[in-house]
Structure formats: C-alpha cells, structure tokens
Amino acid sequence: MGQEFAEDAKAFELCDVIVTVGGDGTILHAARQSLGYNKPLLGINIGRMGFLATVEAYEMEKLERLVHGEYILDRRSILSVSVDGQNRFRQTALNDVVISKSGISQTVDVEIFCDDILVNHYQGDGVVIATPTGSTAYSLSAGGPVLDAHIAGLVVTPICAHSLHSPSMVFSAGRRLRVSLSSPLGPHNALLSCDGRSPETISCQDTVDVALSDKYISLICFNEADQFEAIDKKLKGR
C-alpha cells in the first residue's frame, strides 16, 4: 500500500516533536521551515559533524527518554535580517548571517553600526554575524569566540580583515545592528547568506539590518551541558 504524507505546514501543525535525521544542515532547514509553530526540534546525526544534534546514530536509546518526557527544552535565539528595509529582503537565521565579497580579487569595506552609532570598520573578505548557537560555526573558524548558547546576544566577526587588530565584538540582545557596505575597488556586488543558504546578491551600496528576533527555536537536549559536550567531543582535536 502507498504511504500518505502530510504537507509540511500540516505536519508541523499536527506533530508534537520535529525529528530530523541528517546533519546540521538538515536541522537548520527544519528550524527555518517550522519557525512559528513552536514545536521542539530533535536532531539525530548521521552526517559528518552534527554539532547541533543531540542524538548520534548509535544512541537511539535516547528516543525512549524522548517518549517518556525525560528531556530539556533549550531555547535558542534566532536572527532577523533585512536589506534596505523589510520590503526588499527579509530572512531569519539560527546560526549566522554572512556578508562576503563576490569575487576572489575583491574586498569589501564593512561599517558596523550599533543603534545608529558607528562602532567598527573592517576591510577584508566580509563579516559573520552569529547567534550564540552559531558562534561555534563559521564565526569560530574566522577567529571569533564561543558564546554560551544561553546568552542573549550576538557576535560580529570579521573574515580575513586587512588589519593587525580586528577583534570580534559581542552585543547584547536589545541592540540593533546595521551593516553598511562599500567596495574600495568600485561598485562591485556582495553576497548575503543566512545559515548557509544560497546567497543573495546585494549592492555594495546597500545596508543590512540585523537583530535578535522575538521568535526562538527549542532544541531537545538530554543534558544541561550538551553544547559544551559537543565542543569537547566534536571540535577538540580538529
């Protein structure tokens, strides 16, 4: 007999828990698709790293704990992103927003404004704006700090800045960031990507507004220290 499957919207509405099987990309996709349904998300890792997943393929006994309600809901902040006002472009991100140059021989000038006050300027390959959840992803690879996932804030990390001193900056939850772009090589375009999705082309004269959303994603965990266990097991030695 053929199987019947509900449309995504109906499935998200009817389910109690969203379970993903894959890697971090699968979790990020499900988080975006299910945003607004307020359903907890459990990741089962069969990918390469699965940093956000709290169940490995060899730990299926944890599903018994899920059935019996023996788990913790870990609320994770998400970013709200818009370009030149919300009418042109608006997206969300659980991990990060990346603004980068569009060509190998180019650089971009990035000015960071916090609540309309200029706080930093970078020239280089771009910038990563990450949630605490995303602080262990691209931002970390670019030299940024690891933030406790329970912190209400975001971190801005430059990518290959042409400077001897270009530190990351951490902002509190209530701050609104604006990224102003220009190119020292002329009117080139830049690229904007949320959670690694296909990038949008933006003009180097555009501005990008980023803030923490009032929405959130609940990840199912089985330990209060799951984030730090993942760092210990999946990042150390890499």
Residue (of 225, 222, 230) closest to 67 by Cα position: 222
CA distance 46 to 206: 39
CA distance 160 to 166: 9
Q: Which residue has the tokens 């975006």?
A: 32
Residue (of 84, 89, 88, 128) closest to 108 by Cα position: 128
From 8, 24, 115, 195, the catalytic residue: 24
Contact 48, 23 (CB under 8 A): yes
Assigned token pair, 166: 């270009």
SS3 32: helix
74 is annotated as an active-site residue: no
Residue 36 backbone class (left: φ over 0; alpha: ψ -120 to 50; beta: rest)? left
- The binding site comprises 24-25, 29, 95-96, 125, 136-141
Integer angstrom CA distances of residue 79 from 53, 133, 159, 212 = 20, 11, 19, 5
CA distance 214 to 212: 7
Contact 58, 87 (CB under 8 A): no
- The binding site for NAD(+) comprises 24-25, 29, 95-96, 125, 136-141
89 strand-pairing partners: 83
Catalytic residue numbers, as ranges: 24
